[in-house]
Structure 1
Amino acid sequence: MHLDHATSVTSDLDATRQFFVDVVGLTEGARPPFGVGGHWLYAGGRPVIHLVDSNLPHHPGRASPRIDHIAFRLDGGDEWQALLARLEAAGVAYRTADVPLSGEVQLFVALAPAVVMEFVTAARNVRRASF
């Protein structure tokens, strides 16, 4: 079993798409014609992030925007360093934390509106910082 995708319902579709494409490094790809605004963003040929416009008629019982956080696993130190460079170049604030007993490092980005991104790596000797 693996994470198939996460859906973010957002009031700023363009800014959210730009963050995932320009900073995270996903690519926009094919999306079925659902009849509502949105984007499907791909990593490794798979649509991992689905963005949906929250400026749609409200569905009772469904908060909008919504998602607590989404986590991506980065495989190595080079990928980690490249992410840090893109975040800093884009002026995106982040913080890192060590996962107790695991040797893993987490990086958190507060993505407006109200979505937190987490990136995790088990790579050794990666930079821990806040920006």
Structure 2
Amino acid sequence: MQLDHATIVTADLDAARRFFVDIAGLTQGARPPFSVDGYWLYADGRPVVHLVEASAPDPSLRAAPRIDHIAFRLESAAEWQALLARLRASGVVYRTAQVPPMAPQEAAMQIFVALAPGVAIEFVTALHHAQP
């Protein structure tokens, strides 16, 4: 089994799309003609993030607990450094955290970005990729 995609419902559809395309490096691609506006954003040829325009909020539909965040793994130092450069150039606020090693996994470095209230995006890479 593998994760197919994550869906984010947002009132600011274009800002979310810009973040995922301009900062995260996903590619906007084909999307079926649903009755609600949105975007499908692709990584490695697959639509991994679905953005959907929020309609009038219905508080009775808010489930608890909710998904806290989604995470993207970067597999190289070059990808990690390019992400950091895009974050800094755009002025996006982020925080970092280090994950201690736990055999067989090596230590990792994380970046967290608050996309919107209640929606966090994580980027993670092996610690040795995050070293300058």
Shorter-chain TM-score category?
0.7 to 0.9
The one of the two structures with greater contact order (alpha-carbon pairs below 8 A, sep at least 6) is: 1
Does residue 14 of structure 2 align to residue 10 of structure 1?
no
Answer yes or no: is the 8 Å Cα contact 2:73–2:125 preserved in 1. Answer: yes
Structure 1 stretches of 4+ with a deviation exceeding 6 A read none
Query: Structure 2: which 5+ runs fail to align?
Result: none
How far residue 15 of structure 1 moved from its aligned partner, in angstroms, is: 0.6
Matched-pair identity in %: 65
Q: Match of 2:126, as an amino acid?
A: A
- TM-score under structure 1 normalisation? 0.86
Higher normalized helix content (fraction of residues) = 2
Deviations 1:10-64 (A, max 9, x none): 010011111111111111111111111110000111000000111246484235x
Counterpart amino acid of 2:51?
A: L
- In structure 2, distance between residues paired with 1:51 and 1:125: 29
Query: Residues 62 and 120 (structure 1 numbering): CA distance in 2 closer, same or farther, change over 3 Å?
Result: same
Whether 2:79 is the aligned partner of 1:75: answer no
* Aligned-partner residue type, residue 110 of structure 2: Q
Q: Tell me, yes or no, if the aligned pair for 2:77 and 2:130 is still in contact at 8 Å.
A: yes
Unaligned runs of 5+ in 1: none
